[in-house]
Amino acid sequence: MSTIVPVILCGGSGTRLWPLSREAYPKQFLALAAERPLLQATVLRLEGLSDIAAPMAVCSDEHRFIVAEQLRDVGVVPAAIILEPVGRGTAPAVAVAALRATAAGADPLLLVLAADHIIRDAASFRAGVVAAVPAAEAGHLLTFGIAPTAPETGYGYIRCGGTLLGEARRVEQFVEKPDRPTAEAYVASGNYLWNSGMFLFRASAFLEELARFRPEMLASCREALAGAKNDLDFLRPAPEALRACASDSIDYAVMERTARAGVVPLSCGWSDVGSFSALWETGLHDEFGNVLSGDVLAVDTKNSLVLAQRLVATLAVEDMVVVDTPDAVLVARKDRVQDVRGIVERLRAAGRDEWRHHRKIYRPWGSYVSIDAAERFQVKRITVSPGAALSLQKHHYRAEHWVVVQGTARVTRGDEVFTLVENESTYIPLGVIHRLENPGLIPLELIEVQSGSYLGEDDVVRLEDNYGRNEPER
């Protein structure tokens, strides 16, 4: 069997964090993914497939450290983590991965998977991948179609044709999300499958068809990879080339146009939980049709999704979505929640950062959470991983106070090097060279209070760095 290279699509700029981070999950949805973030579950369900190679992950720049951490946490060393400077859809993302996979002369099969799918029957999923291999090796571009269990209106459909090779069938038509009567007719016919957005094809076959239908897109991706730079564990394609690239999905760019499209039916407990309405459909419903997670007081509430990280009370609401996170609160009708992209665009147009930045920011050495901020001060909770160190740095406009809550800190302050343990503190005056390290075996947790005339993250003069960073971040 040919080598299979998984390509895990983790989303572009502005993507939601919850498929990647355990902390962003409601607990009952974590349970669906074996108590792991969905990114980890996606990678781990590949175990048992023969001839499976190290995966490639494609993600946004702001999620690079959490993707690397989640893979490292399950002992997976990726072949590459490709960073998108801007989201351009799945077609360019997979094109760059395919070009990377074939750069040294190899021509593997690419198994394209999204990081936000739930698959309850991993064995059936793996069997479906194996069944798809002969047709993919013969040069067909395969998608996986899910046997519908209901007249779902939130998924696209695939109309199946005759047998292609083995269990693969020809694709007669890709159909957009239907209305309810149409979806009922599709399911009753027995000739339609849900479009899962998962694919298997030889890298060269995909590139050939992309060259046929979208040559300008392929040219941009070639230019992006030719100008790519390695940055620690990450591969940064040339940003100018990708910004100039058209945005499109694999379906629109290739699959709906090619004569080589095939589909392999799957019945594996699949769900695309890429929207809050899908979370409601996937979750455990109470007697009133609600899916509730966290500290929720629901009074006269029906058929609603409420996710809370603090006390959330609902009164006399129906068919609503209420999502309380450390970053923001969303309240929407369930049938309009897909329009949340419009809110993201308005935040972006207003110059606000909430659409892309979370309160918890991941760095190669650990993470920090903004606790409070106002004019001339801000407070952060900093976590430094065992053996990790921040850069040797100084600030022009701010001073810092550090209080150790857990673990051991090695502190460089000017010409001094000393150790702090739990309940001890120190002060870093404005302009003094300093570094924070964790020499211990457990995470170092500390509270940092910054004060000064300017508190932006670009007020960092980095003198030494273990991670080869030049950008203005800690």
Q: Cβ contacts of residue 172 below 8 Å, gap of 6+?
A: 159, 160, 161
State the pLDDT at residue 408: 98
Nearest to 288 by CA among 273, 268, 303, 299: 303
Task: Confirm if 414 and 433 have CB atoms less than 8 A apart.
Answer: yes
Name which of 49, 258, 264, 8 is nearest 144 in CA terms.
Answer: 264
Residue 22 near residue 278 (C-beta atoms within 8 A)? no
Name residue, tokens 């292609």: 164
Query: Residue 114: inside a domain, yes or no?
Result: yes
**Same-domain pairing of 154 and 181:** yes
At 315, list the tokens: 């009164």
Q: Is residue 458 part of a domain?
A: yes
Residue 470 forms part of a structural domain: no
Compute the radius of gyration of the chain from its Cα atoms. Answer: 24
Determine which helix (DSSP H) or strand (DSSP E) holds 6, and give its type and residue range: strand 4-9
Both 404 and 321 in one domain: the answer is no
Same domain, 372 and 344: no
Residue pLDDT, tens place only, 306-345? 988 899 999 999 999 998 887 788 899 988 877 777 887 8
Give the end of a domain, one of 215, 241, 272. 272
Q: What are phi and psi of 91, to 5 degrees?
A: -65, -50
- DSSP secondary structure code for residue 442 in this structure: S
Question: Does 169 share its domain with 28?
Answer: yes
DSSP helix/strand/coil, 279: helix
Q: How far apart are CA 468 and CA 125, in angstroms?
A: 40
**What number of H helices and E strands is found in the chain?**
12, 30
pLDDT of residue 172: 95
- CA-to-CA separations, 184 to 40, 178, 179, 289, 361, in angstroms, rounded: 34, 9, 9, 22, 45
Of 98, 14, 20, 21, give the one whose Cα is nearest residue 56: 98
**Residue 354 placed within a domain:** no
Are residues 311 and 404 part of one domain?
no
The residue ranges of the chain whose pLDDT is under 50 are 13-34
- What angle separates helix 215-226 from helix 90-102, to the nearest 10 degrees? 60
**191, 131: one domain:** yes
- When divided into structural domains, the chain yields a total of 3
pLDDT of residue 13: 40
Q: Tell me, what CATH number does 207's domain have?
A: 3.90.550.10
Two tokens, residue 341: 């992209």
Q: Does 33 share its domain with 114?
A: yes
**Number of residues in the chain:** 474
**Do residues 212 and 323 share a domain?**
no
How is 39-71 classified by DSSP, letter by letter? HHHHHHTTTT-TTB---EEEEEGGGHHHHHHHH
Give the integer Cα–Cα distance in Å for 301 and 292: 11
Residue type at 29 in one-letter notation: F
Domain range for residue 386? 360-464
Give every CB contact of residue 127 below 8 A, 6+ residues apart in sequence.
none
Q: What is the 3-state secondary structure (H, E, C) of 159-197?
A: EEEEEEECCEEEEEEEECCCCHHHHHHHHHHCCEEEEEE
Cα(216)–Cα(464) distance, rounded to whole angstroms?
41
Q: What is the pLDDT of residue 32?
A: 42
Domain identity same for 263 and 228? yes
CATH number of the domain at 441, please. Answer: 2.60.120.10
State both tokens at 186: 């599709």
Residues 91 and 217 sit within 8 Å (Cβ to Cβ): yes
Given this model, what pLDDT does residue 340 score? 76
Distance CA 132, CA 134 (A): 6
Give the number of other CB atoms < 10 A from CB of residue 390: 23
Distance of alpha carbon 97 from alpha carbon 7, whole angstroms? 7
Note whether 370 and 378 are within 8 A (CB).
yes
Say yes or no: 437 and 420 in one domain. Answer: yes
Distance CA 334, CA 281 (A): 11
What tokens were used for 305? 């999704």
169 and 294 in a single domain? The answer is no
Q: Tokens representing 268? A: 């594996």
The answer to whether residue 319 sits within a structural domain is yes
Q: What is the DSSP string of 408-441?
A: -EEEEETTEEEEE-TT-EEEE-TT--EEEE--SS
End of a domain among 325, 348, 371? 348
The position carrying tokens 């769900």 is: 271
Determine the Cα–Cα distance for residues 398 and 386; give it in Å rounded to an integer. Answer: 27
Q: How far apart are the C-alpha atoms of 221 and 228, rounded to whole Å?
A: 10
Q: Are 87 and 12 in the same domain?
A: yes
Report the sign of the C-alpha dihedral through residues 329, 335, 341, 347, in that order: negative
At residue 153, the pLDDT reads 81
Final residue before a domain boundary, out of 348, 369, 384: 348
Residue 353 is assigned to a structural domain of this protein: no
